Each structure stands twice: as C-alpha cells, then as structure tokens.
Amino acid sequence: MTAAEPGPDRSLYGFDILSTPLLTDLYELNMFHAYLEAGMTAPAVFEFFVRELPPCRNFLVAAGLEQVVSFLREARFGEAELAWLRDSGRFSQRAIARLAAFRFTGDVDAMPEGTIFFADEPVLRITAPLPEAQFLETRIINLLHFQILIASKAVRMVLAAGEGRTLIDFGLRRAHGAEAGLLAARAAYLAGFAGTATIPAEPVFGIPIFGTMAHSFVQAHDDETEAFLHFARARPAAVVLLLDTYDTEAAARKVVELAPKLAAEGITIRGVRLDSGDLAEHARRVRRILDEGGLDRVRIFASGGVDEHLIAAHRAADVPIDGYGIGTSLTTSNDRASLDCAYKLQEYAGVPRRKRSEGKATLPGRKQVWRRHDGAGRMAGDTIALLDEAGEGEPLLQPVMRGGEPVGPLPSLERARRHLEAQLEQLPPGLRDLATDHSYPVTISPALRRLVATVNSRP
Amino acid sequence: MTAAEPGPDRSLYGFDILSTPLLTDLYELNMFHAYLEAGMTAPAVFEFFVRELPPCRNFLVAAGLEQVVSFLREARFGEAELAWLRDSGRFSQRAIARLAAFRFTGDVDAMPEGTIFFADEPVLRITAPLPEAQFLETRIINLLHFQILIASKAVRMVLAAGEGRTLIDFGLRRAHGAEAGLLAARAAYLAGFAGTATIPAEPVFGIPIFGTMAHSFVQAHDDETEAFLHFARARPAAVVLLLDTYDTEAAARKVVELAPKLAAEGITIRGVRLDSGDLAEHARRVRRILDEGGLDRVRIFASGGVDEHLIAAHRAADVPIDGYGIGTSLTTSNDRASLDCAYKLQEYAGVPRRKRSEGKATLPGRKQVWRRHDGAGRMAGDTIALLDEAGEGEPLLQPVMRGGEPVGPLPSLERARRHLEAQLEQLPPGLRDLATDHSYPVTISPALRRLVATVNSRP
C-alpha cells in the first residue's frame, strides 16, 4: 500500500472548496467585473452584523474570526480557478488579470472570538478596495454566521449544565457537511464544551476528543456481557459502556457483575452511557443499580435528543447524569438554524452609505462598539458609535489585519474560551435565562444618529 | 504573481477534511481497534434509513449517493492521518497497519438518487468486513443525511412553484460551511431548481449558475440610475437590476426611463429583483409600472425570506413573480434542520441483528423495498421485505459497488433530476400537500415480521 497522493486529486470536488475564492456567489464576481469597468476601486468599508436576535437567544457569541483571517490570507486564484474564469466567458481580460493577481490587501477590525454581542453591533469590519471587499462577502458571511450560530447555541447548553457536568459534541453525522461538523466542534469548545467526538478537531484545533462505543458493537456480539468485556480489554484506559441496546437496567446489572472481573485485570469501568427512552428515569434506576453494586464512582453519560432545555430540567430535578453527548440540537442549532446576519457597505470613497430597504435599513459609516460595566463588574450597556467618536467603557472591535497582514497572532482558541467564560460572569442575570427573552441596553450614539439623518436626507 | 500551490498547504485545515477517513467519530476507530482485538472481522450488513418523517414532509428524496461512492473510492489514510494515528497512542500497531492498508472492499446497494422514499425504508446498504463497515458510518450518514434533507425541502418549493416559475438557490452565505453550500446547490438542482448562485456548483457538478447585483453595488454609486447603467454596460447579456436599495417603485420608474437608452446601445433589460418588504405588493406595483412603461417582457424575481409557503401563497393569489432566489429556508432546511436517520447493523457473520432500544428498534436482516403502482401508473404502496424474498412491483435498491468497485457509472445528476420529476407525476395527490400530513402505505413483509419476532425472542 502506498500513501495516497495529497492534494486536489484526493478531494471529493476537484476544487479545494474550503479555501478557493471561487466559493462565492456569481453576483460577487459580476460586481467585481462591473466595478472595474466603471473604475470604482476606491476603498470601501463593509461591516458584518446580526440584524436581530431570534427568540430564545438573549445574546450572541463572536466566533469564526480565525477562519476568516486564514481564508483572507490564503485565498488565491490558482490554475483551476483561472481556467474556469477564462472558460466561463463572463469576465473581461482585465477582471481575470486582476483576480489572477489577487491577494487580500485590506484592513480587518473585529471583536475577538468569544466576545458577547447583540443585534446591530458590527462584529467585523473590512476596509479594502471596493471590488476586493465585495467579492469576499459570501465566504466571510458563511464562516462567521455558522460559528456564531453554533457558539451562541452551545453557550446555552453550558449555562444550563452549570458546574460539574461534562458536555461533549456528538454532532458530526447530522452536521450539514464536513466543514460544519468540524467548525461546530470548534464553536462548541469555544463556548465551554469539554470536547467532541469528531477526530479532526484534535489535530486541527487541539480540541480534546472523546469516544465510547455504538450499539452495533453490542449487536455484533451474541452476548452483551461479552461485548462489554471485549471493549474494556481493547480500550482499558477509557471504559464507557453503552447500556441501552436491549434493556438498560439489565445491562447495568451486567456491568456490576463484570466490574470485579475487570478489576482483577486492572481495568476500571469509568462510565456508562444511556441513549434512549426517558433518560432521567433510566439514569435514576441505573445510578441505584451501580451504587448498590459498589460502583458509585462510575459516571453516567446521556445522549440522544439532548438540548439545553432537557439539561436544565435534569439539573432542576437533580437527575444523576454526569455528562451529555449532544448532537443534532447543537450542530444544526435546530431551533434556529440561521441568524439574520449581513455584511453591508457602510462607506465608499470616504462617503458614508446606507441601505434603506424596508426592515433592512443599516447604520452608515465606520463604527465602534463601546461596552460599559457597573460597579460590580457586570455588563451595563453598549453604545454603537462612529469610529472617530470618543466612547465610554471598553471598545470591542480591535485591529486584526492591516494591509493584508495580521497585526499579530490571534488569541488562541483556549484564550477565546476563557474570554467568553469571564464574560459569562459579567452577564446580567436575566440574559442567562433559557426560555424567556430579556433585552440588554444597546444605544446609538448621538453622532451616529445625526449621520443616519444626514444620509437619509440625500436624494 | 504565481499561481498558488495546490494541495493541503492551501487548505484551511491542514487535513483534506472532505475526503479524509479521519473525518469520523472517535468511537468508530475505538470500535475498529476493538473488533480487530476480538477477531471480529466477518462480513457485516449496515443499512441507512430515516426513522420517521418529520411533520411537513410527506415523502423524502434519496440524494448524496454520488458523494458516498466517491468517498468510499477515495478514502485513504495518507501520511498526515497515519502520523496522527501513531502519535495519538490510542491504537494498536495492528489497527494502524490495517488502517494504513485500508481500501474499501465492500458492496453497496442503494436507491438511485432522486428516488422518493419513506420512513424505515433502507436507502443504502453496505456489506463489508465489520471493522470497515463500522468506521465509515459517520461520513456516510453526514453525506446522505444532508442531501436528503435539502432535496426533500427543495422539492416542496418545486411543487409549490408549479410550471413556469424559476427557482434559484441563493443560500451559500447562510449554509453551514462550504460543503453545505455546495451540496445544497446540488440537492436543490436534483429536486428541480433551475440552478444556483454558488459558483463552484458549475465546474464541480455542471449546474447552471445565476447572478445579478447586490445592494452594495447601488449604494457605492451616488446615483441609482448610474449604478443600473454601469451594471448593464458591464454585463449586457444578463441585465437584472435590484430595485429595493432605497425605494422599490421609484427604482422601477428609473428602469423604465433607462430602458430606451440601453436599447439604443443594444442592451435589453431582462429582469428586476425585489428583496424586501411585502414582495407580493411590490411585485404588483412594479409589474404595473413596467407594463405601463412598455417593459412587459421584463421578468420580476423575488428574494428575501422566501419559502415554499410564500411561493404557494403567491401562486394562489396570482402574484406576478416569475422566479425566486431562495436562501436560508432552502440551505438550512430551516423548519426541520435534521432528519432522524440512522446507519444500523442488521446482520453480522450471517446472523440478523436488531437493536431493541426504546423508540429506536430496527428491522433486522438484509432488506429490499418493493414499490407497486396502480393502473394509472400512480404509486400505490411499498413493502419492506427480506432481500431473498420474492416481491411485487419494482425493487428500489440496486447494486452500486461490488468488492469496492462500482458496478458501472452512476446515473448523472441530470438523470437523477429527471428520475425524480417522473416520480412526482406518480405521487398520490395528497402527498403533494405542503401544509398537512398525508401518509403512504408502507408495509412489512410477513417473512420480515417473522424474523423480527425470532430476533426479539433471543436472550
């Protein structure tokens, strides 16, 4: 056997669709071409923001900046892309030459990953020549939207779980494709999950990975106890046994019988997993069986249809579950599978711009978000202001790239995780509520209000 | 400028996460290792199916088989993967050697893409040595689930639109990552969409791509008419102008004024697009303005929050909209962002197996699905039967791979699209209903019932 060739030949799609700048909407390249034809290449300012918080999200979590920066640094039109551009017949020689030479040359300012934010607040600002800032739109939104969506869902589970309950992402199989699976693992870890079952999250992001066994492992054996024995002997360092293939409580009793035999071999059963039925009821019964069998140190994990509401209900009822594997509700953010976000032109050639479409009007100009804290260190209110205004409190957008180059290394994923953890301590208590909507004061600065009025009065 | 290097260095993640067999859950490799330790390498049969149809899905559409076959053919542990396996310290030399030599050697049987199917019906069957069939589980589900989800959502929009209205996927930006964007474009096209805005869908899948202009293009100009002029001159072959940046009807009047000037230059305005407000009301007013201006051949496209229910309401009210750009509701399947699907062990070493977990019990054995049609050619009922039973009607699962090699080329995407289109003609009328649930008769064969009883009675 020879190792597989690396590179595009291996890829499922021929293009490296994760990095290619061709992963965009056709209209972006149409506009790129049209801007060049019209000689409109002055600097433009685009900002990414979420228009409104959906029900059941009292705040959002900034995430995905690291992938946006990697994309901006690495996006190139290689041979495959240039061949497509030429063959497509849609673009001028000038546009193709410009794309062939493309490297991102702009500035990026953004909230650090893990920052808590609210509706209308710019999370990321791109300042670059108009054609360039324009055609990068689609992938920038694609990368930011998804991780914000998942981090903002995952943090609800983290708040529901409280201290001492382990949360693990089990969602790859129902994630929307490969990248969603990998990035959901990252966003969940950023939000406070202990780790994921998705293997590449470890080599790519350094995220702890966890894994037990599936029902098929038990089914493939003629005897459940034999399956447990085979698994424990093969993986003596991390024995977590799945109980619900046939009869959960009967399996728990088998675990109790098996424990001394394994102990004699130097193997400790660390945990059991429940994956169907009434998890709370099974957990109570299994806890009793294990405790009566002297296995009070064996932890109980639960999976299968878990979301933040179930975790909160279990916690309120003191259900003896020590950790959860969470799949679909996390990786698809199933109650809200998208956010109403946008990447909008706020300034071109030094002139502030505003979209005035019904229900979708934007705040013009380059902006900063300022956050105030009360005497107890709690978040007390934000102000969206023009960039050149003086603000009160802490400015949330920070320089990330200048002239296409990073101003320095981004905070690590671990640091982003601690950044969020620290802010959760500062969160007004109502905002931690899972089931009811609470609002947080976000005001528009007087100068920004005046600018809105000025731009509106233009013909 | 030199063309970028191809290959993993360009990739956002270091690993080719789209093709790597490491894109799986850790427990799959744990079990791979444990099966080898226990000497359990006999043939296993796994089947993929959906446990139940969610509300508002009267049927589902098979999709994603092409990607599964590509993955099975191309999945290899290359240097990066083997280095991770060795460094991880979790796996035996034997397991690593076996993975290093891994090539898929199994059989695949599946419903052709575009086949309409129902709950509990196996869509795909894998027959391969147990460790191999096991660890491929996660990516197989990941690829099938997402495209089935999107094709089954998209077909509802196709049914709602009826003849003569063009549907285009606009969803890349809110899709869950890059692969979701690309595969949603594919699944939507399979379901009957006319095409997508996502560029790589053309070079990768041959799907028609469409693109107009964004609000930012209008905003970047000091004057809306000048923006329209610049766009039309840059893209004379496909002039579709976006009307709602400031005032939709005012913009429509500008289009009427501009049309003769462009006509004198040989440029025809093909369409206009509405993207906010009450789309039906704006469409009526814009249609009147265009018609009164002699532009009765200019088509009206609408986008922004479109789903199948809005399309159906517009159609019922004769709203003059000729086509829709559909984003979020399509690419995230936002009313149901996942399906309750599974890939389950049904037989090992010649013995049928059954999971009996509460609410998740499975049908054991290798199975076939038979479909009957009535005298008018309409779908009349399906039977899930054992593979070696005689069935009535048409068998839906067909041979796809034998011994790791395709039995022949898969049907093209165009053919899959026509296959679905033909079946939509055969669909019982109630199943076309968008808002109410209708069921279709799916029965279990007597031999399969007997097998269930036999397997249940095992200890």
- Write out the DSSP string of B139-178: HHHHHHHHHHHHHHHHHHHHHHH-TT-EEEE--GGGSSSH
pLDDT tens-digit readout, A242-263: 999 999 999 999 999 999 999 9
Residue A423 near residue A379 (C-beta atoms within 8 A): yes
Give, in order, the Cα–Cα distances in Å from A373 to each of A298, A308, A427.
43, 28, 10
The rounded Cα A37 to chain-centroid distance in angstroms is 38
Task: Please give the Cα distance from B225 to B261 (Å, whole number).
Answer: 12
How buried is B397 (Cβ within 10 angstroms: 0-12 exposed, 13-18 middle, 19+ buried)?
buried
pLDDT at residue B299 greater than cutoff 90: yes
Report the relative pairing of strands B394-395 and B367-373 from DSSP bridges: antiparallel
Does residue A178 belong to any structural domain of this protein? yes
Mark whether A255 and A308 lie in a shared domain. Answer: yes
Mark whether B162 and B304 lie in a shared domain. Answer: yes
Mark whether B142 and B175 lie in a shared domain. Answer: no
How far B390 CA lies from chain A's nearest CA (Å)? 27
Q: Which residue of A has its CA nearest to B67?
A: A12
pLDDT-derived band at B246, boundaries 50, 70, 90: very high
List phi, psi (to 5°) of A161. -75, -30
Of A66, A265, A90, nearest to A183 by C-alpha is: A66
Higher pLDDT, B7 or A142: A142
Please indicate whether, in this complex, the C-beta atoms of B12 and A70 are within 8 angstroms of each other: yes
- Quickly tell me which residue has 């077909």 as its tokens: B155
CATH of the domain at B84: 3.20.140.10
Structure tokens belonging to residue B49: 């199916």
Sign of CA dihedral B121, B358, A211, A263: negative
Mark whether A307 and A353 lie in a shared domain. Answer: no
Of A362, A427, A415, nearest to A121 by C-alpha is: A362
Domain-ending residue, one of A331, A348, A383:
A331
pTM equals: 0.97
Residues of the domain holding A189: 161-331
pLDDT-derived band at A2, boundaries 50, 70, 90: very low
Does residue B1 belong to any structural domain of this protein? no
Mark whether A348 and A432 lie in a shared domain. Answer: yes
What is the mean predicted confidence (pLDDT) over B194-215?
Answer: 96
Give, in order, the Cα–Cα distances in Å from B285 to each of A380, A459, B274.
46, 22, 11
- Quickly tell me which residue has 């998942």 as its tokens: A150
What is the mean predicted confidence (pLDDT) over A357-385?
Answer: 93
Mark whether A126 and A86 lie in a shared domain. Answer: yes
How far B379 CA lies from chain A's nearest CA (Å)? 30
List phi, psi (to 5°) of A380. -115, -15
List phi, psi (to 5°) of A345. -70, 120
Please indicate whether, in this complex, the C-beta atoms of B234 and A37 are within 8 angstroms of each other: yes
Does residue B452 belong to any structural domain of this protein? yes
Task: Please give the Cα distance from B427 to A282 (Å, whole number).
Answer: 43
- End-to-end Cα distance, chain A: 70
Mark whether B275 and B307 lie in a shared domain. Answer: yes
pLDDT at residue B127 greater than cutoff 50: yes
pLDDT tens-digit readout, A412-443: 999 999 999 999 999 998 999 998 888 999 99
Of A1, A22, A130, which has the smallest distance from its Cβ to B199's Cβ? Answer: A22
Interface contact B181, partner A, CB < 8 A? yes
Report pLDDT for B270.
96
How far A161 CA lies from chain B's nearest CA (Å)? 23
CATH of the domain at B295: 3.20.20.70
What are residue A379's DSSP bridge partners? Answer: A373
What is the mean predicted confidence (pLDDT) over A87-102?
Answer: 93
pLDDT at residue B359 greater than cutoff 90: no
Any residues with CB less than 8 A from the CB of A222 and at least 6 apart, and which? B351
Does residue A446 belong to any structural domain of this protein? no
pLDDT at residue B394 greater than cutoff 90: yes
Task: Please give the Cα distance from B12 to A453 (Å, whole number).
Answer: 42
Mean residue pLDDT across chain B: 94
Of A87, A325, A356, nearest to A210 by C-alpha is: A325
* Encoded amino acid at B441, one letter: P
Residue A235 near residue A204 (C-beta atoms within 8 A): no
Task: Please give the Cα distance from B171 to B333 (Å, whole number).
Answer: 10
Domain-ending residue, one of B331, B361, B384:
B331
Q: H or E element: which one contains B83?
A: helix B79-88
In the A/B pair of chains, how many CB contacts fall below 8 A?
426
Please indicate whether, in this complex, the C-beta atoms of A338 and B351 are within 8 angstroms of each other: no
pLDDT at residue B211 greater than cutoff 50: yes
Reduced to 3 states, what is the DSSP secondary structure of residue B37? helix
Report the relative pairing of strands A43-52 and B239-242 from DSSP bridges: unpaired
Residue A42 near residue A129 (C-beta atoms within 8 A): yes
Any residues with CB less than 8 A from the CB of B141 and at least 6 apart, and which? A173, A174, B48, B341, B342, B343
What is the mean predicted confidence (pLDDT) over B33-62?
Answer: 96
Mean residue pLDDT across chain A: 94
Total Cβ atoms within 10 A of residue B249 = 14
Could you report the predicted ipTM of this complex, rounded to two decimals? 0.96
Does residue B3 belong to any structural domain of this protein? no
pLDDT-derived band at B356, boundaries 50, 70, 90: confident
Mark whether A95 and A31 lie in a shared domain. Answer: yes
Of B23, B100, B176, which has the smallest distance from its Cβ to A200's Cβ? Answer: B23
How far B365 CA lies from chain A's nearest CA (Å)? 12
pLDDT-derived band at B459, boundaries 50, 70, 90: low
pLDDT-derived band at A7, boundaries 50, 70, 90: very low
Mark whether B254 and B135 lie in a shared domain. Answer: no
Interface contact A4, partner B, CB < 8 A? yes
Does residue B2 belong to any structural domain of this protein? no
Q: H or E element: which one contains B249?
A: helix B248-264
pLDDT at residue A448 greater than cutoff 50: yes
Interface contact A7, partner B, CB < 8 A? yes
Does residue B370 belong to any structural domain of this protein? yes
Higher pLDDT, B13 or A299: A299
Residues of chain A numbered 294-313 and touching chain B (CB < 8 Å): 304
Residues of chain B numbered 223-242 and touching chain A (CB < 8 Å): 230-231, 233-235, 238
Domain-ending residue, one of A308, A331, A354:
A331
**How many separate domains does chain B show?**
2
pLDDT at residue A375 greater than cutoff 60: yes
pLDDT-derived band at B86, boundaries 50, 70, 90: very high
pLDDT at residue B352 greater than cutoff 60: yes
Mutation site for B-interface testing, chosen from A103, A199, A282, A341 by largest number of B Cβ within 10 Å: A199
Mark whether B296 and B414 lie in a shared domain. Answer: no
Please indicate whether, in this complex, the C-beta atoms of A216 and B146 are within 8 angstroms of each other: no
Strands (E), B379-455: 379-386, 394-395, 398-402, 405-406, 442-444
Any residues with CB less than 8 A from the CB of A439 and at least 6 apart, and which? A58
Structure tokens belonging to residue B16: 């080719």
Please indicate whether, in this complex, the C-beta atoms of A23 and B328 are within 8 angstroms of each other: no
Does residue A442 belong to any structural domain of this protein? no
pLDDT tens-digit readout, A279-329: 999 999 999 999 999 999 999 999 999 999 999 999 999 999 999 999 999
Mark whether B139 and B179 lie in a shared domain. Answer: no
Mark whether A165 and A310 lie in a shared domain. Answer: yes
What is the mean predicted confidence (pLDDT) over B251-263?
Answer: 97
